[in-house]
Structure 1
Amino acid sequence: MPLYQPYSKEMQTRLVEYFLALEREGHFGRAAALCHVSQPTLSAGIATLETQLGKRLIRRDRKYAGLTPEGEAILPWARQLVAAAEALGQAAETARGPLKGELRLGAIPAAMPAIGCLATAMLDRHPGLNISVRALTSRQIERELAAFELDAGITYLDFEPPAHALSVPLYAERAMLVSAAHGVPIPAVLDWADLASLPLCLLHQGMQNRRILDARLAERGLALRPLVTADSYVALLGLVQQGRLCSIIPDSHAALLDGLRWARTAPLPDMGEGSRVGVIVSDSAPMGPLAQAVLAVARGLSLPPGFGSI
């Protein structure tokens, strides 16, 4: 390949988008579909980018086989370039007009009940937006914000606090026990030993909500040993409904259980202050219009009574 030539207008952002799509999807056909181009067009675009850089970026063995060391080296810069180009376009478009485009929002499962309030407030203030919501772990949210794959996240703020992020607290989360009315007998007043002895289904330990709960129990010399683990509260409630298991879920989910005759809830022993949950965005500068808009809406957001005050 020819030696690297200084950056020119010929190195189109679109070619970098092809490169990023292929890295994300790991498949030429899926990457082409994601970019709304044919597979030959995507392959030719990446080859052009390689020619302009004078380096092989993709390992090929009849199909995509990963990135070369040079491809790995440019990956964070490629993400930053595409994110900057998108923010540039948004800034120019919104200088004298309404905010438009897609808001990419990641939220931990525990915070999903707050999504409706935030999304409604965003659409009320910026009706030209569309919003994409993904359920992610707190660690995934932090990684994808750093990689410019999310505009904002909703996550825990204090336990394993997110790095390189600006935040706006929304509410304080506390936990409650949920069981089936026809199921496991629950003591009238729960203590910590009762909690540890119940047949439980819980989130797995890759979820921060579970790690917070485990830490609170460990402080008291106890450990929870669930019979079943899952990665969503819908799955946990489906298990509880069968009557053999109990679960521990955030109190913000209580409103979602209203009217369900099979479900009953009980407060947990006092855990002290609740876990703060809030909106986070990357603290990179300059801040994009979408991130600015989310922070502004979050600062003025009024949540219903089911969410604990901070």
Structure 2
Amino acid sequence: MLIKQLQYLVALGRERHFGRAAAACNVSQPTLSAGIRHLEDEMGVPIVERAQRFRGFTPDGQTILDWAQRIVADYEALHQELSLARQGLAGQLRIGVIPSALPVTSLITGPFARQHPGVNILLRSLTSKEIQRGLDTFELEAGVTYLDNEPLENVRVRPLYNESYFLIQSRRFAKTDAQTVTWEEAAALPLCLLSRDMQNRRIIDSVFRSIGKEPRAQIEANSPISLIAHTRSSAIATILPLSFLSLINGLPDLSMRRLVEPQPAPQIGLVYSARDPVLAVVKTLIASIRRLDMQKSVDLAAGLG
């Protein structure tokens, strides 16, 4: 069995398409198919359901894929350790980030990139459930997500900062210079909110329920940028976390008021697989984060410092 054959299988499991898997491995499709057939011969069982196009894995194939993902992840981790000892950290750092934390992720990745130029950093906007899957299948090295609301399983955590919420509204319709607004007042407004598959939306809904209110979400989207665009061009308001203030503070046409009564503060943190040894790239990332005061940095970026 060659590690390359396992890498082909892992790529096929990720891409669910022979052509894309071959491209990801920088080989031709016949080469990838031949490698998987050799693996089937060696294991003595069919791995892929045979058809003109990829249809899925056999039950034995899924078991082999699960093991292949672990083996390939450990192989790549070994290369990182050896690289760190010889010439400094190199390789790839794949981080899944919930949309509400994307604006401040650079506070983490910026210093890390300067310290370790040999590492390629890939950021992906994902839901918390997608981050869980990515860690489970070794397609992510780390994630940035909520820690205390719908916490992930089989992970270790590093707290970063606490979220707070602001009502964003066109100044034409806000008609107030107040710095705060209650959740009850916000419930009476037409709103555009993140879609319900986003944990941020589920947190917002739970806050409204805690005061016996139901938000009027006339528009839903899976992109916070879309929410901001709607707010700027209409009477619809939105609710965004503290992190997004760093992107919209310079927009004079928008009113930004802190939501109070209550003031929830869910915790955002770094999560990574609870397996040993910890990947060199993750250990190094955590060491970099320890030198940061993320709460202070997020507050300053939002203009609250």
Q: Output the TM-score relative to the length of structure 1.
A: 0.91
Amino acid at match of 2:271: I
Amino acid at match of 1:159: N
Give the corresponding residue for 1:136. Answer: 126
Deviations along 1:172-195, one digit per CA (max 9) or x if unpaired, are 110000011224556956333321
Q: Which moved more, 1:50-59 or 1:137-146?
A: 137-146
Give the corresponding residue for 1:87. Answer: 77
- Contact 1:172–1:307 (8 Å) recurs in 2: no
- Contact 2:182–2:261 (8 Å) recurs in 1: no
Give the corresponding residue for 1:163. Answer: 153
Give the corresponding residue for 2:277. Answer: 286
CA distance in 2, matches of 1:77, 1:271: 47
Deviations along 1:212-260, one digit per CA (max 9) or x if unpaired, are 1111221211121300111111111111111221000001211211221
Match of 2:94 among 78, 100, 104: 104
Deviations along 1:73-126, one digit per CA (max 9) or x if unpaired, are 222211101100000111112123310111111111111122111111111221
Deviation at 1:273, TM superposition (A): 4.7
Match of 1:216 among 192, 196, 207: 207
- The answer to which structure has the higher helix fraction is 2
CA distance in 2, matches of 1:18, 1:183: 56
Give the corresponding residue for 1:190. Answer: 181
Amino acid at match of 1:165: V
- Contact 2:195–2:222 (8 Å) recurs in 1: yes
Give the corresponding residue for 1:19. Answer: 9
CA distance in 1, matches of 2:203, 2:143: 19
Give the corresponding residue for 1:44. Answer: 34
Give the corresponding residue for 1:231. Answer: 222
Give me the CA root mean square deviation: 1.8
- Contact 2:48–2:56 (8 Å) recurs in 1: yes
Deviation at 1:142, TM superposition (A): 1.4
* SS, match of residue 182 in structure 1: helix
Q: Is 1:207 aligned to 2:194, yes or no? A: no
CA distance in 2, matches of 1:185, 1:197: 15
Amino acid at match of 1:281: Y
Q: Residues 66, 243 of structure 1: CA spacing in aligned structure 2 closer, same or farther, 3 A cutoff?
A: same
Amino acid at match of 1:100: A
Amino acid at match of 2:260: P
Amino acid at match of 2:12: L
Deviation at 1:17, TM superposition (A): 1.3
Deviation at 1:171, TM superposition (A): 0.9
Deviation at 1:284, TM superposition (A): 0.6
Which portions of structure 1, spanning 4 or more consecutive aligned residues, are displaced by more than 4 angstroms? Answer: 184-189
CA distance in 2, matches of 1:137, 1:154: 10
**Alignment gaps of 5+ in structure 2:** none
Percent identity over paired residues: 38
* SS, match of residue 271 in structure 1: coil
Q: Is 1:78 aligned to 2:37, yes or no? A: no
CA distance in 2, matches of 1:67, 1:201: 41
After TM superposition, the structure 1 = structure 2 runs for residues 222-301 of structure 1, keeping only pairs within 5 Å, are 222-301=213-292
* SS, match of residue 67 in structure 1: coil
- Contact 1:251–1:306 (8 Å) recurs in 2: no
Q: Is 1:180 aligned to 2:170, yes or no? A: yes
Deviation at 1:42, TM superposition (A): 0.6
CA distance in 1, matches of 2:211, 2:246: 30
**Alignment gaps of 5+ in structure 1:** 1-10
Count of residue pairs brought into register by the alignment: 299
CA distance in 1, matches of 2:144, 2:191: 26
